[in-house]
Each structure stands twice: as structure tokens, then as C-alpha cells.
Amino acid sequence: MPSFAGKVVLITGASSGIGAETAVEFAEAGCGGLALVGRNKENLDAVCQQCQDKGIPKDKVLGIIADMAKEEDVQRIMDSTIQQFGQLDILVNNAGIGGVKYLGEEGIMQVYDSVMRVNVRSMLQLTQLAVPHLIKTKGNVVNLSSVCATRTLPMMVTYNMTKAAIMQFTKCCALELAAKQVRVNAVNPGSIWTPVHERSGRADSVIETAKKVHAMGRIGQTGEVAKAIMFLASEDASFMTGASLPIDGGRHAMCPR
Ligand SMILES: NC(=O)c1ccc[n+]([C@@H]2O[C@H](COP(=O)([O-])OP(=O)(O)OC[C@H]3O[C@@H](n4cnc5c(N)ncnc54)[C@H](OP(=O)(O)O)[C@@H]3O)[C@@H](O)[C@H]2O)c1
């Protein structure tokens, strides 16, 4: 893994799952500063502590309690990051929520609004705010899309739509920013074992289903996504932009028969 020395990394959704693991791995890799965003203070504090345990100094880890659904909070995320570190090198747009509703079910429009707001609108706003800083550092962005961007899970129309939008967003940003030497890529995970599945109340069935729907016969682990995020954010991916990398044990290539 190339050096992240001196690089300031901003990660949304860092209080849990993939975002938390990515934060700890960037800390272990010796990055220059971490701005970590979440709503749950207890969880975010714990992740900040884990990062310090990996050797990053306390003043180089900034926990930001913010709600991605609120425009003023998203603005505050960027303001506090720049105030603390004076620069931004890597933005990991990871915060996201699901939304299980089928067509015709009551409440689907409310779910659409909240899922689009958190998964897509806030990503656009935060990236927009990050652009001037990323141009200065010739930095890069990694967005969290999903296998759901290209494969279709029933009853998840709103979530699937957001993840497809994120793939297109990634390509649009990549083309707009390429001439400024700012790269923008995405990862498309399959089912990854995180608290999102623990909370679902059907953890066992998620693990069993994962064995069938991934060619490799198992659910993925957060570290497997974190390592791909770090690769895309690193100099090893210096000629990659606009890509959406499947991290899904082959699920994107499967076809029911
Ligand atoms: N796990 C999977 O199987 C899987 C597969 C494909 C893609 N993904 C994507 O990967 C990303 C991370 O998922 P995960 O499984 O790690 O989920 P997770 O464990 O539930 O973590 C989600 C993170 O997003 C944050 N978040 C959610 N809504 C927020 C809001 N309104 N404001 C601020 N932060 C908010 C949460 O913060 P708080 O808890 O502090 O509120 C938490 O840190 C998501 O974009 C997800 O769609 C996951």
C-alpha cells in the first residue's frame, strides 16, 4: 500500500460498518488526518479512539457529529475539516441508508425522499463543497455504490435507484474533474457483514442467502471493502477515474438459471 503520509481523509458514515473499518485502516496506514462523520456520538467516539490506538495522534482525528440529511450540517462538515486540517486530500462518501418498500405500499414516497436525501443529495452537496480543496491537493473521491446499482433486489426500488445514481454521479464527476487531476471512483459492494444486517432482525437469513447469491459462496467483510477504497484513493490507482469496482465475490456477474 502506497503512503498516505500527510493526506487528510474525510469519511462520512464513519461511526459504523464499512466507514468505521475504513477509518481505522487509514489510521493504521499512517494518514495525516482523519475527519470522521456520524450521528451516533458514542459509536463515533469509539471509532476515533480505535484510530488513535493505531497510532494517529489525538489532534489528527476529528469526530464530527452531523446529519447528512441537513444542508447546514453538510456545510459544517466541510468547514470544520478545513478549519482543523487546512486541506482535504481524500473524500470517502460512505454514509448511506436502506429503504425497504414495495411498489403500491404506503409510505414509499417518504422513504424515497429520505433515501435520496441521505444517499445522493448529501453526496452531491459534500462533493461540491470538497471540489475546490481537492483541486488544490490533486486529491480524489471514493463513493459507496452497491451491487444494487446494476443487479436488482426486489422491494428495494428506492435504494437501488440511489446506488445507480451514485454510479452515474461518479462518472460525471470523474469527467468534470479529470483535467484538474482530481480522480473520482466508486466501489460496488455485495452483501457485507455490518450492523445494517445485525439491525435487520434477520441476520441468519442474510448470511445464508449470501452463500447462494455470491459466486464465492459467502458474505463479504468490511476490511475487504476498506482495502478496495484505500486502493482507489491511493497513488496505485493514479490512472483510474470514473470506475465502479465490484467488491462482491462475483455477484455482479451472476445470472439466475
Ligand atoms: N453492508 C452492505 O451489505 C452494503 C452493501 C453495498 C453497499 N453498502 C453501502 O455501504 C455504505 C455503508 O454501509 P454499512 O453497511 O457500513 O452501514 P452501517 O453500518 O449502517 O453504517 C452506516 C453509516 O452511515 C451513517 N449515516 C446514515 N445515515 C446518516 C445521516 N443521515 N447522517 C449522517 N450519517 C448517517 C451512520 O451513522 P450513525 O449510525 O452514526 O447514524 C453509519 O456511520 C452505505 O452507503 C451502504 O449503502 C453496504
* Tens of pLDDT, residue by residue, the chain (257 residues): 789 999 999 999 999 999 999 999 999 999 999 999 999 999 999 999 999 999 999 999 999 999 999 999 999 999 999 999 999 999 999 999 998 898 999 999 999 999 999 999 999 999 999 999 999 999 999 999 999 999 998 889 999 999 999 999 999 999 999 999 999 999 999 999 999 988 888 888 999 999 999 999 999 999 999 999 999 999 999 999 999 999 999 999 999 88
Range of the domain at 88: 8-244
Domain count, the chain: 1
Measured distance CA(184)–CA(57) in Å, rounded: 28
Residue type, 166: I
C-alpha cell at 225: 471493502
pLDDT at 222: 98
Residue 251 forms part of a structural domain? no
Q: Is 170 exposed, middle or buried (0-12, 13-18, 19+ CB in 10 A)?
A: buried
pLDDT at 224: 98
pLDDT at 89: 99
Residue 155 forms part of a structural domain? yes
Residue 126 forms part of a structural domain? yes
Q: Which of 159, 167, 190, 192 is catalytic?
A: 159
Q: Is 246 in the pocket of ligand 1 (CB under 6 A)?
A: no
Pairing verdict, β 8-11 and 61-65: unpaired
Distance between Cα 241 and ligand 1 center (Å): 24
Residue 253 forms part of a structural domain? no
Residue 131: CATH number of its domain: 3.40.50.720
Residue 135 forms part of a structural domain? yes
Residue 3 forms part of a structural domain? no
C-alpha cell at 137: 491537493
Beta bridge partners, 188, equal: 246
Residue owning the nearest CA to atom 46 of ligand 1: 96
Residue 212 forms part of a structural domain? yes
Residue 256 forms part of a structural domain? no
Phi-psi region of 189 (alpha: psi -120 to 50; beta: other; left: phi over 0): beta
Closest CA to 229 of 192, 178, 175: 192
Q: Is 40 in the pocket of ligand 1 (CB under 6 A)?
A: yes
Residue type, 241: T
pLDDT at 256: 82
pLDDT at 2: 81
186 sits in which H/E element: strand 183-189
Measured distance CA(214)–CA(190) in Å, rounded: 8
Residue type, 217: G
pLDDT at 96: 98
Neighbours of 109 (CB within 10 A): 10
Distance between Cα 190 and ligand 1 center (Å): 14
